[in-house]
Structure 1
Amino acid sequence: MTFLLPVLVASLALVNPTVAQSVDGSKYNSPTAGPPSSYFAAATSIPVAALKSAAAKASTAAKDATYPINNSGGAAKVTIHSDWSKFSEGAAFVWVADMDVDCDGIDYKCKGNQDGQSETNFGALAAYEVPWIVIPDKFGTTYQSVLPGNNVGAVICDGKMFYGIYGDSDGDDPEVIGEASWLMARTCFPNDDLNGNAGHGSVDVTYILFTGKDSVLPSSALNKNYITDFSTLRSMGDSLMGSLAKNLGLSGGSETSTTTGSAPTTTCSWSGHCLGASCSTENDCSDDFVCTSGKCANP
């Protein structure tokens, strides 16, 4: 009868796949064998396309919020928006930028990293194991009361959403925006060989960073080097993102329509919300379309 225990354990793993997401981070600290993307991917119920469309329409600049995407002269500038920062639940800052690779922390010698540091802002995280995003140091200082560190955040890249934490800041001169850890960047763009000296240059990645103490990943789910419980990261991310979507009047999965009426014939990034679709607010319309007289229209 000794076979019953392993059979029971295997059965529980099938019923509750999050069991496998409590990990020994050191076993994933490899440039080619980090945690699988499923460990920190958003649930299919999250309206990813709708959130991306809503983020593109954010227009209220936060304080100390505009930064270049790199330190070369003439680089494009990106502004962090505070339109979503006053919600009682799911409050967040949002911006759209490129994605360079940050390897600070214990993996600071990653491929192509010429100026890495052995520590990150709130420890010495492993860039190969922890999905994190980076914000400019000045912005982090300005909003440290609501961004104490290790806040849960998310990126939308190539049509997918992945959760991570605010794990580091950029203190270059000038400070730049649009960075994420090795794991996050290479999960977003797995075929591009992103590294410390080669990033994703297009300004098409949406960053969402939740604010307040309730958005901070607890110490029971991470230590100074690794995330140890990815199920907590995912559950917090889904809960916060669900609240944000509700506040914005969005619902359902990434392909679910929140409007009524016939679907438009024009294609766009959010099916069912293109030119001519019925709408109540601009958040019901994809891309740059606006809501005019109950229909999504060109601006």
Structure 2
Amino acid sequence: MRTRTAALAAAAGAALLAPASYPAAAHQSPDEPVVKSPDGQVSSAPTSRGYGGAPAVPAAAREGSVRAADLLARTGSCRQISHGRFRTDDGARATVPVCAKRGAVFWKADMDIDCDGRPTKACNRRTDPLFFHATAFQQSDGRQLDAARLPYVVVPGPSRRWKHAAHGITGGTVAAVIHRGKVQYAVVGDTGPTDLIGEASYATAKALGIRPDPKRGGADSGVTYILFKGPKAKPIESHRAAVARGDALAQRFVRQN
């Protein structure tokens, strides 16, 4: 997690307490999008209609078929499952609960940039003073995850406040990350401090149009993280697998009563 000033963090916390509404919008995926239909078929071709009969955005310009607005509508109320709340930054007030809905857990926070894992041109000790050469979860070949290329999210380390594994959230769990009407699918790839929340990889931020610089980038508020229980993306390093799995789980999530 990156440390911001207490005043900025407090402002972000106040914003999180107010209802948020984000319009649906198209965005560019870092990889070729893959859409999984309810019958399990995977396709990279555009669809003529989006979820719920809405006009479809061309497949080359969006990930999956579920709109940001439909996902956000399912997170309008919170059944808190964490024993207490999390801070978004060092020195900030603890304002963010982990919430649950059938089939998923979610929270609304900021986004700090995680560059940990395999050293690359974008993520290394020079570009990120807090760089660490390993991630909590590894690729199928045993190598560390590549934060510059793989969209992943960071969950708080296990504590008395919340144990992610106890709720079925582990490496490879698929997440939908939403910011300003854009949906980006990612996987759970790393863990962070036990009292902080709101962090994702360089690649996640870049795909959402958020400045990915680990020192000066990120978003101060307005990011929703929905982590789906159930089947995971395999292999963890395949963003294509995360999109296919995530779209199917997201369709199920928004359709349930």
**TM-score bracket, shorter-length normalisation:** 0.5 to 0.7
**Take 1:111 and 1:243, find their aligned partners in 2: how far apart are those partners?**
43
**Take 1:76 and 1:42, find their aligned partners in 2: how far apart are those partners?**
32
Q: Kindly state the Cα deviation for residue 211 of structure 1 after the two structures are TM-superposed.
A: 1.7
Q: Secondary structure at the match of 1:67?
A: coil
Match of 2:234 among 208, 218, 242: 218
The C-alpha deviation readout for 1:233-288, integer Å capped at 9, x for no partner, is 2211110000001114xxxxxxxxxxxxxxxxxxxxxxxxxxxxxxxxxxxxxxxx
1:243 aligns with 2:252: yes
Gaps (5+ residues) in structure 2? 1-41, 46-58, 139-143
Q: Is the 8 A contact 1:111 1:195 kept in 2?
A: no
In terms of Rg, which structure is larger? 1
C-alpha change, 1:141 and 1:116, in structure 2 (3 Å) is: farther
The C-alpha deviation readout for 1:207-234, integer Å capped at 9, x for no partner, is 000123x2x1123xx4xxxx24x33222
- Spell out the pairing of 1:5-24 with structure 2 (5 A cutoff): 18=44
Match of 1:42 among 31, 56, 63: 63
Match of 1:150 in 2: 172
Q: Kindly state the Cα deviation for residue 93 of structure 1 after the two structures are TM-superposed.
A: 0.4
1:135 aligns with 2:144: no
**Take 1:152 and 1:235, find their aligned partners in 2: how far apart are those partners?**
10
1:188 aligns with 2:203: no
Q: Secondary structure at the match of 1:154?
A: strand
**Take 2:240 and 2:124, find their aligned partners in 1: how far apart are those partners?**
29
**Take 1:113 and 1:64, find their aligned partners in 2: how far apart are those partners?**
32
Q: Is the 8 A contact 2:71 2:250 kept in 1?
A: no
Q: Secondary structure at the match of 2:175?
A: strand
Superposition TM-score, scaled by structure 2 size: 0.67
Q: Kindly state the Cα deviation for residue 175 of structure 1 after the two structures are TM-superposed.
A: 2.9
The structure with higher relative contact order (CA 8 Å, sep 6+) is: 2
Match of 1:109 among 112, 120, 124: 124
Match of 1:207 in 2: 225
**Take 1:40 and 1:115, find their aligned partners in 2: how far apart are those partners?**
33
The C-alpha deviation readout for 1:107-142, integer Å capped at 9, x for no partner, is 351664112211111121001110001111026972
Q: Is the 8 A contact 1:42 1:237 kept in 2?
A: no
The residue type equivalent to 2:85 in the other structure is T
Percent identity, please: 26
Superposition TM-score, scaled by structure 1 size: 0.58
